[in-house]
Chains A and B, each alone.
Chain A
Amino acid sequence: MKTIQELEEIRKKTLDTINIRKDRSGTRIVVGMATCGIAAGARPVLLTIMDEIKKHDLSDVVVAQTGCIGMCRLEPIVEVYKPGEEKVTYVKVNPSKAIRIVNEHIMKGKVVEGYTIGAESK
């Protein structure tokens, strides 16, 4: 038999994994995954992001993919959409940059300015 507490734990844990089917209000991390992105190493970036989310047990974060964003030379590109905030575009992301993006931007709300498209074009 499951106690009420155990049921609540199941509820929370499962909700984290399936909430993306209902709730579209949380943070979205979108990775550009067209051929150019994949060639530039977008897959390890995507996997790293997912690992970090798992590791820190982050709920309310959705990882999505998109096709070519149109800036192939800046791939891999990662876009972060937080509710009520401007989209932030990170460029030339690699796994170690991805870890910082999750830890600082997603978890603490601090944009990693140095990796953004704005920093690149300067």
Chain B
Amino acid sequence: MEMYRSHVMICRGTGCTSSNSEQIAKNFEEEIKKHGLEKEVVVERTGCFGLCALGPVVIIYPEASFYSMVKPEDVEEIVKEHLVKGRIVKRLLYAESVEENRLKALEEVDFFKKQVRVALRNCGIINPENIDEYIAFDGYKALEKVLTKMTPAEVIDTVKRSGLRGRGGAGFPTGMKWEFASKSVNDQKYVLCNADEGDPGAFMDRSVLEGDPHSILEAMTIAGYAIGASQGYIYCRAEYPIAVKRLGIAIGQARLYGLLGDNIMGTGFKFDIELRLGAGAFVCGEETALIASVEGQRGMPRPRPPFPANKGLFAKPTILNNVETYANIPVIFNKGPEWFASMGTEKSKGTKVFALGGKISNTGLVEIPMGTSLREVIYEIGGGCPNGKKFKAVQTGGPSGGCIPEEHLDSPIDYESLAALGSIIGSGGMIVMDEDNCMVDIARFFMDFIVDESCGKCTPCREGTKRMLEILERITEGKGEEGDLDKLESLAKNIKNAALCGLGQTAPNPVLSTIRYFRDEYEAHIKDKKCPAGVCKELLNYFIIADKCKGCGICAKNCPQQCISGQPKTPYTIDSSKCIKCGVCMQKCPFKAIIRK
């Protein structure tokens, strides 16, 4: 194998790929050749580094220089200056990583300082299409240990002692799940991986699959040994083409190395994995629906019990775990369950990956120890709300979660604390909202999503969520009535209790949590017919501020309703009863004399 003095790591995660990182990789290869450096410098394509908003990201080692928003035409300069002359191109560095002209180590940058990368340990560091690089950083070492030195019972005990809980939403203890399936006696059992990732805005699992696919294969094989299964399936949404491709490559390489197949590492243990593609229905992430879908049936939930651990895929004992849950497994064996359990809180161990989005400066993927406060994540890692806007709430857990206001930002992030606040950790979506977000509108958005995604099998969810959506729509249109909030709350209660699957059971959470923390805002819509955040179009009116109006008449000329009138050089006025709120006048006024409120 060749030794290279410098490694140019180019992010080929979904985010950076869509901003043309492949072209950047090609340019690097070309320029490096042109300068005769191809024996010294290697170009590697990696997975997501987390700061997708600043993509395309290029990191050059050994200096670990973090170049952000690189354009194809910048490559020539980087090669000429950095790779040939050893002069880092400061202009293109991620600004946060430079301090008084000195290059900070990546670990010192605010965005990374508080992060602990366990599930994301290899993302952005290895080439995910090269199994050797995974092996180099302790890959398949855990499997070796498990197969050669441990009994299945010891494996399960190790997972139990680590305290690992499911990262897919429900937070069920993983070791216990494996134990149930191991105790279930049968000639065939199955190991499934949930790579459906249906929450809008979430991309934690995608990044792991794209950046470190072998960690999932290794973990599933360990799970197979623990419960006595010889076959695994990864259920991945088809909208993740890069993940699907890399998983395919990884499975092929693992088979070639005998890390999947009939006689793994010569130990006689047999296990194989196949990919199954999902069409991306949110409900297919629910375990019984997912199992139905893998079987080739329509992805609809069924009542439990029987639980999959007894009767799952093809009616055989089955375990289903989330991508991130699996990504933790090899590390637990390499570093020990005590090490894992030393991170986090009493009941929530280890780390959790979150996709930070919305009104926050550093959008991207972050992995933090459980128990870190929401405030640390939002302000210290995320950099707070941009443009000096005031923070209003953070939404966690997607359509099954809730909104948490400012006064609870010091709460630790763990399963129980967020549940007590009316939200959940969920799969790790974290959307920040500022003063310009209307909380009623947010609740409406999630309910709209739910109504679209409800599979329709049971009435409380199918009909109940529709009724809730109708009420929310009325409120945002200024047609809210006294008693609407009570109606919403009682519908919510009934749906939570009566829905068949988790989708319906958690669907009211965004509404309930916003009513709980932002009742004022609902009441302003219902009673005063006002949207304090200025979002709900029907509740806004356009006004001309007389003091500022110069009487130029431009607004009146542009108004499609011709509802602005006045005399030149004197203040104009808007006839609100005819106004359709198109906003044209406000855009056109050269003196900013028109406001909306």
Q: Which chain A residues have a beta carbon within 8 Å of chain B's beta carbons? A: 1-4, 7, 10-11, 13-22, 24, 28, 31-35, 37-38, 46-47, 50, 53-54, 62-67
B137–A35 contact, CB under 8 A? no
- Is B3 in contact with A14, judged by CB distance below 8 angstroms? no
Which residues in window 110-142 of B have CB below 8 A to A? Answer: 125-126, 132-133, 135-141
A interface, over-half SS: helix
Chain B residues in 8 Å Cβ range of A64: 5-6, 62-63, 86
Q: Which residue of B lies closest to A59 (CB)?
A: B3
Interchain CB contact (< 8 A) of B265 among A7, A20, A35, A66:
A7
- Which one of B3, B63, B257 lies within 8 Å of A1 (CB-CB)? B257
**Are B105 and A24 in contact, with the CB atoms below 8 A?**
yes
Known: A3-B266, A4-B265, A33-B84. A21 touches B7 (CB 8 A): yes
- A4 engages B266 (CB within 8 Å): yes
Q: Per a CB cutoff under 8 Å, which of B83, B137, B257, B261 touches A7?
A: B257
Are A67 and B261 in touch, CB under 8 angstroms?
Answer: no
Judging by beta carbons under 8 Å apart, are A18 and B136 in contact?
yes
Residues of B within 8 A of A (CB): 1-7, 9, 40, 61-64, 83-88, 105, 125-126, 132-133, 135-141, 144, 148, 257-259, 261, 263, 265-266
Q: How far is the CA of A7 from the CA of B133 in the complex (A)?
A: 12
**25 pairs across A/B with beta carbons < 8 Å?**
A1-B263, A1-B266, A2-B258, A3-B266, A4-B144, A4-B265, A4-B266, A11-B141, A14-B132, A14-B133, A17-B2, A21-B9, A21-B125, A22-B125, A22-B137, A28-B62, A31-B86, A33-B84, A46-B5, A50-B3, A63-B5, A64-B6, A65-B83, A67-B86, A67-B88
- In angstroms, Cα B86 to Cα A37, docked, is 10
- Point out the residues of chain B lying under 8 angstroms from A47, CB to CB: 40
Docked-complex contact B3 and A17, CB < 8 angstroms: yes
* Nearest CB in chain B: distance from A77 CB, A: 11
Residues in B whose Cβ lies below 8 Å from that of A31: 86
In the assembled complex, the CB of B596 is this many whole angstroms from the nearest CB of chain A, namely: 51
Q: Would you call A15 and B136 a contact (CB within 8 A)? A: yes
* Residue in A19, A37, A65 whose Cβ sees the most chain B Cβ within 10 Å: A65
Which of A13, A34, A62 interacts with B86 by CB under 8 Å? Answer: A34
Q: Is the CB of B7 within 8 A of A18?
A: yes
Hey, which chain A residues are within 8 Å of B144, CB to CB? 4, 7
Contact among B3, B61, B141, B265 with A21 in the assembled complex (CB-CB below 8 Å): B61
Contact A50 B40 (CB under 8 A): yes
A2 to chain B, nearest CB (A): 5
Nearest Cβ in chain B — how far from A113, in angstroms? 26
Are A14 and B257 in contact (CB-based, < 8 A)? no
CB-CB nearest in chain B for A30: B86
Distance of A7 Cα from B256 Cα, bound (Å):
12
A34 to chain B: which residues have CB within 8 Å? 85-87
B135 near A11 with CB under 8 A, answer yes
Q: A4-B144, A11-B136 are in contact. Are A16 and B257 (CB under 8 A)?
A: no
A16 and B530 alpha carbons, distance in the complex (Å): 65
> Nearest Cβ distance between residue A25 and chain B, in whole angstroms?
12
Residues of B with C-beta under 8 A to A14: 1, 132-133, 135-136
For A37, the chain B residues whose CB sits under 8 A away are 85
Which A residues are CB-close (under 8 A) to B83? 65
Pick the contact of A54 from B3, B61, B132 — CB < 8 Å? Answer: B3
CB distance from B168 to the nearest CB of A (A): 29
Question: How far in angstroms is the closest Cβ of chain B from A1?
Answer: 3
CA distance A64 to B40 in the complex (A): 11
Report the separation of the CA atoms of residues A92 and B596 in the bound assembly, to the nearest whole angstrom. 71
Q: Are B62 and A62 in contact (CB under 8 A)?
A: yes
**A residues near B261, Cβ cutoff 8 Å:** 1
Looking at the assembled complex, report how far the CB atom of B257 sits from the nearest CB atom of chain A, in whole angstroms. Answer: 5
Q: Judge whether B263 and A15 touch: CB under 8 Å.
A: no
Other-chain residue from A10, A16, A17, A33 in contact with B135 (beta carbon distance below 8 A): A10
**In the complex, which of the residues A21, A22, A34 has the most CB atoms of chain B within 10 Å of its own CB atom?**
A21
Contacts of B140 in A (CB 8 A): 7
Given contacts A3-B265, A10-B132, A21-B125, contact A33 B86 (CB under 8 A): yes
What CA separation (Å) do A21 and B7 show in the bound complex?
8
- Chain B CB within 10 Å, residue with most, of A11, A34, A46: A11
Cβ-defined contact, B85 with A35, below 8 A: yes
State A49–B146 Cα separation when bound (angstroms).
Answer: 41
Task: A19-B136, A53-B3, A64-B63 given; name 10 further pairs at CB < 8 Å.
Answer: A1-B263, A7-B257, A14-B1, A17-B4, A18-B136, A20-B62, A24-B64, A33-B85, A33-B86, A64-B5
A120 CA to B7 CA, complexed, in Å: 34
Complex contacts, B266 vs chain A, CB 8 Å: 1, 3-4
CA gap between A50 and B132 in the complex, in Å: 22
Whether the Cβ atoms of B257 and A2 lie closer than 8 Å is yes
Bound Cα distance A18, B130 (Å): 12
- A67–B125 touching, CB < 8 Å: no
Q: Provide the residues of chain B in CB contact with A33, threshold 8 Å.
A: 84-86
Q: Report the Cα distance A66→B63, complex, angstroms.
A: 10
Contact between chains at A66 and B86 (CB < 8 Å): yes
Give Cα A66–Cα B88 distance, bound, in whole angstroms. Answer: 8
- Whether A67 lies near B258 (C-beta < 8 A) is no
Which of B5, B6, B63, B83 counts the most chain A CB atoms within 10 A? B5
Report Cα–Cα, A48/B132, bound state, in Å.
27
**Bound form: Cα–Cα A66–B6 in Å:** 12
Query: Contact between A20 and B61 (Cβ–Cβ < 8 Å)?
Result: yes
